[in-house]
């Protein structure tokens, strides 16, 4: 599956903040701990040293991962149209059971289905993209197909 680099400015800022904390606070602390424990002697039987090195490696790996995310990020622009469902819009739909649901369509890194935030790559998100108010959209799931009528786009 292709990496999804779409994110809101808010998510991008959260990642940048976490990255700064890792680089300025956690990595220097971990490196200092490794250096301190290295002075205590035999590395092969020094569990504290081994644990500190593992923690430093994890921090460095996380920094590389987050730097990659920010370098390749595509910020979801503020949507201009409320006539067509697109990434970044909130959609209110009427379900088969006559209940309404709201979905905010974002990139995969920000999904939270329990709170109505879905990915544009999900069956629901990809089915809604490009449709307008009044359209009935059929969403194919593993075992069934459900129809949703688009009531509102924000």
Q: Where exactly are the structural domains of the chain?
A: 6-75, 90-153
The proportion of the chain whose per-residue pLDDT surpasses 90, expressed as a percent, equals 77
Whole-angstrom distance, CA of residue 14 vs CA of residue 108: 15
pTM for this model (two decimals): 0.82
Tokens 């201009």 label which residue? Answer: 80
The arithmetic mean of pLDDT across residues 107-121, rounded, is 94
Sort strands 6-7 and 90-94 into parallel, antiparallel or unpaired: unpaired
Mean pLDDT across the chain, nearest whole number?
Answer: 92
For residue 44, pLDDT beyond 90: no
Give the CATH architecture of domain 6-75.
Orthogonal Bundle (1.10)
The arithmetic mean of pLDDT across residues 75-94, rounded, is 89
- Residue 2 pLDDT grade (very low, low, confident, very high; cuts 50, 70, 90): low
For residue 142, pLDDT beyond 70: yes
The arithmetic mean of pLDDT across residues 13-41, rounded, is 94
Give the CATH architecture of domain 90-153.
Roll (3.10)
Q: For 86-101, write each residue's pLDDT tens digit.
A: 999 999 999 988 999 9
The arithmetic mean of pLDDT across residues 142-152, rounded, is 93
For residue 81, pLDDT beyond 90: no
Query: Residue 3's Cα: distance from chain center in Å?
Result: 11
- Tell me what pLDDT residue 1 has: 46
Beta-sheet strands, E only, within the chain: 6-7, 74-75, 90-94, 100-106, 117-119, 136-140, 145-153
Evaluated on CA atoms 128, 93, 77, 65, the torsion sign reads negative
Sort strands 100-106 and 117-119 into parallel, antiparallel or unpaired: parallel
């Amino acid at each position: 599956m292709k990496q999804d680099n779409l994110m809101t400015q808010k998510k991008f800022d959260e990642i940048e903040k976490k990255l700064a904390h890792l680089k300025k606070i956690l990595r220097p602390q971990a490196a200092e701990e490794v250096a301190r424990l290295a002075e205590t002697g035999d590395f092969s039987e020094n569990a504290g040293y081994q644990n500190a090195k593992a923690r430093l490696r994890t921090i460095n790996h996380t920094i590389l991962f987050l730097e990659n995310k920010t370098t390749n990020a595509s910020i979801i622009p503020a949507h201009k149209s409320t006539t067509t469902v697109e990434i970044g819009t909130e959609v209110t739909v009427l379900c088969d059971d006559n209940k309404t649901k709201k979905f905010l369509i974002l990139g995969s890194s920000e999904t939270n289905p329990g709170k109505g935030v879905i990915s544009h790559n999900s069956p629901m998100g990809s089915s809604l993209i490009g449709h307008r108010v009044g359209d009935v959209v059929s969403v194919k799931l593993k075992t069934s197909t459900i129809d949703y009528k688009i009531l509102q786009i924000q």
